[in-house]
Homo-oligomer: A and B are copies of this chain.
Amino acid sequence: MIRSWSPVVARERVAEETFWLEFDAPEIAEQAAPGQFVMVGFGASSWGTPFLPRPNSVAAAPDGRVGLLIRVYGAGSRRISELALGERVLLLGPLGTRFELGDARNVLCIAGGVGLAPFLLLPRWLDRQGREANLRLLYGERVGAVVFNPEKIQEIAGIEADIWTEDGSRGSRGTVLDGTGLDGADLVLSCGPTAMLKAVRSLARTAGVPCQLAVEEHMACGMGTCIGCAIPTIDPETGEDVYSLVCTEGPVFAAERLRW
């Protein structure tokens, strides 16, 4: 786990309220795997908004840089999105678990909104591991205005995204789930809003395909000390109802462990 004050080295508004940021943070970039995240903060001496750091998935790791895909949600993500080139933030990471591909050959990735982030890292990360798999990426947004450019996705991730919008203004009309014939997938990975994750889980369960979900919960420490990011889960060994920490036991969970 690395803590570093890292400068913004690239910043681009990529869609409505959506920004692409790159930080110079070689050690984190080297270690980060898809699904893992960094805490992005401003240190303890500035108690402005935000005081607590904010979790964000590592979306790319080119040339010693950590790329993040940030959607403005509240005051914290707004401040992060407004960082100027050269400004430094405190990065802590990489944190959490990653998607585990095992022997899967045909991997279906289902992303909702900025849940796209981990899947931007996935293809090149697999390359770096010398690991081959057929990846298919479904990417859904509510409206076209917030869609991350498919060319940019291609450039960052080297993968083509199958885009779905509910208003039909970009890509196909509908939700990612409308595009989900699991056709041939032997593993489903998903990240996005909880409602979507639940639907993905049902689909995969029905089809009998293993499924891993990256979930979100409020965080303070990102490293297991505050016990704040617990979500209801099922203990895989005892079958008991327990809580698991999203920051250390997650954010990627086997779908069947989640107690929703």
User: Interface of A with B (CB < 8 Å)?
Assistant: 46-49, 84
- Write the nearest CB–CB distance from A185 to chain B, whole angstroms: 46
Let me know if B49 and A49 touch, CB within 8 A. Answer: no
Instruction: Tell me what chain A mostly uses at the interface: helix, strand, loop, or mixed.
Output: loop
Cβ contacts A to B, 7 pairs, < 8 Å: A46-B48, A46-B49, A47-B48, A47-B49, A48-B48, A48-B49, A84-B84
B residues near A48, Cβ cutoff 8 Å: 46-49
B residues near A49, Cβ cutoff 8 Å: 46-48
Kindly name the residue among A46, A47, A48, A84 whose own CB sees the greatest number of chain B CB atoms within 10 A.
A48
Determine the distance from Cα of A84 to Cα of B87 in the docked complex, in whole angstroms: 13
| Shortest Cβ-Cβ A-B pairs, 4 listed | A48-B48, A48-B49, A46-B49, A47-B49
- Write the nearest CB–CB distance from A80 to chain B, whole angstroms: 14
- Write the nearest CB–CB distance from A168 to chain B, whole angstroms: 36
